[in-house]
Structure formats: C-alpha cells, structure tokens
C-alpha cells in the first residue's frame, strides 16, 4: 500500500467496496429474504458487479500490481459457478422418440397494449414466431384474453380466471388439460396458475408463474427521478412479496404427486433466494442445455436471466433455446423434454 500512488489508493478502496458487494451477492441465494431484503437486491446486479471486478483486474494487471488477485478470485468463482455462464451443450433431439415434449415460456407484456415497442405488426410477428417454433405447451405471462383466438390451433388452454386488474397468465396445450388452478397471491396483481396435462399416458403438472414486479421502468432517466431511499423501499417490498409468493408455489408443488414443470417470469435472477426456493432440486433447462448468459431481459442494458423453465429430475432435458426476437421487453425461452420412463 505504501508504494501505491494516491490515485491507486483510491482505486484500491473502491475495488475493496465492490469486492465486498460482489462477495455478499454470491451469498444472497442462501440468505432468506425476510432476514435482509436490502441485501437481496444485490441479486439483480450480479452481472454488473462481475463486470466491475473485471475492470479492476485489468487495471491492476496494466499497472503491474499484484492487487488483481482480489477481484480475480471472484471472477474465477463466477466462471466456475454453474448459474453464471454456460458453454454450448449438445442438443440432438430425436423427434421420433416417445414422449418428446417442447415447452415455451414467454412474457408478452400485454401484446404491446400501450405501444412500448413502435411496431404495429407485433401481434402478427408474435403469432408467426410461435407457429414457427410450434411448442407443444405454450406458457404466456401478461397475456390478453382478447388475443386468445389467435391461438385457436391449440385445442386446450387454461387461464387466470379473474383477469381484471390482475396479471393474466395462460397455458396453451396440444394435449388434454384435465384440471387447472390459480394460485391466489395476496395483496398483489401478480398470479400463478397450473394445468394438469395428459401426454403419452402420463399426467404432468405445468406451472406458469409471474412473480411480483418491481414496477420500475428500467431506463436510466426514470431511475434518476426516483429518490434512492424510495427506490430501495420499492425494491425491498417487491423482494418480500416475491419471497412470500415463492413459498406458496413451493408448498403447492410439494402437495402434487405428478411430475412437474415450472415456467415463467420470476422477476429475479438465478442468483436470488427466490429462484433457489422455487427450484429446490428441480433441473434448470438452461443450466443443462443452454449457452452463454441466457439473457431473457435487459436491465439498464445488462443481460439478466429472469425467465425460466424448470423440470423434475424424472425428465431428461434434451434441448434449451434462448431467442433474440424483440417482441416484448422479455425474450422467450423454450426447452425440449422427455420423461425418462418413455425413453
């Protein structure tokens, strides 16, 4: 430290602050939100924190100082973490096999009802995209009931039964739906549903989840107008509601004897306690067969993953795909699965 210039000392202390923040963010999945909701907010900015630490590593290497090791260790940790970055996996799907099931999850943001995207042909583009991908099960978050006729080629569906004032979820299926249910989240407009679907002589329970939104438009000019204390209060409240909703979903899942698939918009990253609670011992299709960062949403221009497809361990995960089509503020994801008993 004595040999550092005044400027380098400032950089070192800033580096130390970000080192601690990043280290804590890596521990967030194991800390119940109810204990420290403020700390849990760090789960949203893990990619940014890792990027900042990369800057410090490069800075110290250029300066030829061995202080790069501090942030360097965190980078090695993040690279070694299965939840951060995935290398390409083999995705050879034999469509002639028994029980092959493709599942898509997509938050369509009310089909651009309020004109967020300047595109008058968005309805047709979404419909064309869905027809091209042709998933067996299609899970929409923030759907609009008025758009249901566009998907009449799916013979079965189940939707949020009380859409007025609520986030409207829909499950479309090529296979019979024998039962559906809505999970009523208290004191919120968000919602989750599930459908019991019969396919290839098996019954599978498919959840379609839309957890509590932060209700902050992710643009820097909007954030600047919100006081930091108020912003933190909003984030804490959303985190606590997400935690409560995740608990309700987990309890419902534990009461089911069917094999389960969970899809949806968690409004939180894989680095969160909320994701960890819902996932439990289920398999994340992106972690099994995805590649890259798995971006499903852009937060201040940084790619984050907040949309998921999870499957019970009795499923073999054959493929996972993230799409880059700009049809909403979210990007769709799709997975191809097969029950091991059908192989």
- CATH classification of the domain holding 267: 3.60.10.10
Is residue 75 within 8 Å of 57, Cβ to Cβ?
yes
The predicted pLDDT at position 82 comes to: 58
The pairing of strands 100-107 and 137-141 is parallel
Which of residues 80, 113, 134 is at a domain's end?
Answer: 80
Owner of token pair 């899942």:
253
In a domain, 86, yes or no: no
Cβ partners under 8 Å of residue 47, min gap 6 = 293, 302, 303, 304
Is residue 249 within 8 Å of 192, Cβ to Cβ?
yes
In a domain, 88, yes or no: no
Alpha-carbon gap, residue 17 to 221, rounded angstroms: 26
Q: How many CB atoms lie within 10 A of CB 220?
A: 8
Q: What is the pLDDT along the chain (343 residues), one digit of tens a residue?
A: 668 888 999 999 999 999 999 999 999 999 999 998 889 989 988 888 999 999 999 999 999 888 998 999 988 887 766 566 666 665 656 554 568 999 999 999 988 877 778 887 888 999 999 999 999 999 999 998 878 888 999 999 999 887 566 678 999 999 999 999 999 899 898 999 999 999 988 999 999 999 998 865 555 455 555 566 777 888 899 999 999 999 999 999 999 999 999 999 999 999 999 999 999 999 999 999 998 889 999 877 778 999 999 999 999 999 999 999 999 999 999 999 999 876 6
The predicted pLDDT at position 138 comes to: 98
The predicted pLDDT at position 112 comes to: 80
Q: pTM for the full model? A: 0.90
Which of residues 19, 52, 80 is at a domain's end?
Answer: 80
Which of residues 80, 113, 143 is at a domain's end?
Answer: 80
Owner of token pair 């954030």:
223
Q: Are residues 300 and 334 in the same domain?
A: yes
In a domain, 93, yes or no: no
Q: Are residues 193 and 149 in the same domain?
A: yes
Q: Are residues 194 and 326 in the same domain?
A: yes
In a domain, 1, yes or no: no
In terms of DSSP H, where are the helices of 28-100? Answer: 37-40, 46-62, 68-80
State the DSSP H helix or E strand holding residue 10, giving kind and residue range, or none if neither: helix 6-27
Question: What residues make up the domain containing 65?
Answer: 6-80
In a domain, 91, yes or no: no
The predicted pLDDT at position 164 comes to: 61
The total of structural domains in the chain comes to 2
The predicted pLDDT at position 64 comes to: 85
Between helix 68-80 and helix 6-27 the angle, nearest 10°, is 20
Q: Are residues 209 and 258 in the same domain?
A: yes
């Amino acid at each position: 430290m004595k040999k550092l210039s005044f400027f380098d000392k400032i950089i070192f202390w800033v580096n130390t602050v970000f080192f601690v923040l990043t280290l804590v963010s890596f521990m967030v999945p194991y800390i119940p939100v109810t204990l420290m909701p403020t700390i849990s907010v760090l789960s949203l900015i893990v990619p940014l924190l890792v990027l900042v630490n990369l800057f410090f590593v490069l800075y110290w290497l250029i300066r030829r100082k061995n202080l790069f090791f501090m942030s360097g260790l965190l980078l090695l940790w993040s690279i070694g973490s299965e939840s951060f970055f995935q290398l390409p996996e083999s995705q050879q799907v034999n469509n002639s096999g028994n029980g092959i099931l493709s599942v898509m999850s997509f938050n369509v943001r009310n089909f651009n009802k309020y004109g967020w995207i300047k595109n008058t042909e968005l309805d047709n583009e979404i419909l064309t995209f869905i027809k091209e991908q042709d998933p067996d099960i299609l899970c929409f978050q923030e759907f609009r009931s008025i758009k249901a006729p566009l998907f009449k080629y799916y013979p079965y569906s189940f939707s949020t039964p009380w859409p007025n004032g609520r986030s409207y979820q829909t499950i479309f299926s090529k296979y019979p739906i024998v039962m559906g249910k809505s999970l009523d989240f208290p004191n919120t407009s968000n919602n989750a549903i599930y459908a019991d679907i019969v396919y290839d002589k098996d019954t599978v329970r498919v959840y379609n989840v839309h957890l509590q939104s932060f209700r902050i438009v992710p643009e820097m000019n909007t954030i600047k107008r919100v006081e930091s204390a108020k912003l933190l209060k909003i984030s804490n409240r959303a985190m606590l509601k997400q935690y409560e909703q995740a608990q309700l979903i987990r309890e419902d899942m534990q009461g089911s004897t069917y094999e389960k698939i969970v899809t949806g918009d968690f409004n939180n990253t894989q680095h969160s306690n909320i994701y960890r609670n819902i996932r439990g011992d289920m398999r994340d299709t992106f972690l099994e067969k995805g590649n890259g960062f798995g971006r499903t949403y852009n937060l201040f221009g940084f790619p984050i993953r907040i949309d998921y497809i999870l499957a019970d361990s009795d499923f073999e995960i054959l493929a996972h795909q993230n799409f880059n089509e700009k049809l909403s503020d979210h990007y769709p994801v799709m997975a191809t699965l097969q029950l091991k008993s059908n192989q």
